[in-house]
Amino acid sequence: MKKIGIIVGSLRKDSFSGKVAQNLETLLQGKALVKHLDISHLPLYNQDFDGVIETPKAYDVFRAELAAVDSVIVITPEHNRTMPAALKNALDVGSRPWGKNLWNGKKYMVVGVSPGTLSGFGAATDVRTVLNFLNGRVMNQPEVYLGSVHTLLDEKGVLVEGTLKFLSSVMDAFVNF
């Protein structure tokens, strides 16, 4: 069974991105093994950690978990028209030290999430730009942008039926990808 990592770009406890991740995990049950790759404990990337000073244990844990999955779903909110700093940091940590880029050849997809109507398009585009540079293999279609996400979730954090149906087909496509 394929191993899919899920990265939630928001650090907020009750984030929309986290709720979307929970819904995706439910949709993937029986189709893939899901591992949440926690980015909340990663110190800001500093190249000195790659041999000059001791590497943070959180880097080692994240890198090992990233290496252990076949593919990754990145769920990103948008902060000032780009991805959150914590998410960019995780992309950097996974690409280093030089010559040990864990994104190389890794299949991925990006989900843009926002309470606004642009649905995180800028952030999702920036995530793709970085992962493409790092030689990740993107699933180009279907794309997922969940605008006005707060209107797509019920009081328990479950996505509305039409959105779940769409995302179920996307998860099937990603597993097959």
Residue with token string 């893939």: 32
For 164-167, the CB contacts below 8 A with 24+ separation are 164/23, 164/27, 167/23, 167/24, 167/27
CA angle in degrees (0–180, nearest 5) for 62-8-104 = 50
Is the pLDDT confidence value at 119 over 90?
A: no
Do the beta carbons of residue 131 and residue 139 sit within 8 Å?
no
- Report which of 97, 96, 78 is spatially closest to residue 87, judged by C-alpha positions: 78
Measured CA to CA, the distance from residue 29 to residue 1 in angstroms comes to: 11
Virtual torsion, Cα 170, 42, 127, 168, nearest 10 deg: 10
Q: What is the pLDDT of residues 123-132, one digit of tens each?
A: 999 999 999 9
Per-residue pLDDT band for 2 (boundaries 50, 70, 90) equals very high
Report pLDDT digits (tens) over 95-115. 999 999 999 999 999 999 999
Can you give the CATH number for the domain in which 106 is found? Answer: 3.40.50.360
Q: Which residues constitute the domain of residue 104?
A: 3-176
> Quick one: pLDDT band at residue 144, thresholds 50, 70, 90?
very high
**159, β-bridge pairs:** 153
**Distance separating alpha carbons of residues 154 and 16, to the nearest angstrom:** 12
Asked whether the beta carbons of 39 and 86 are under 8 A apart, the reply is yes
What's this model's pTM, rounded to 2 decimal places?
0.96
Number of domains present in the structure of the chain: 1
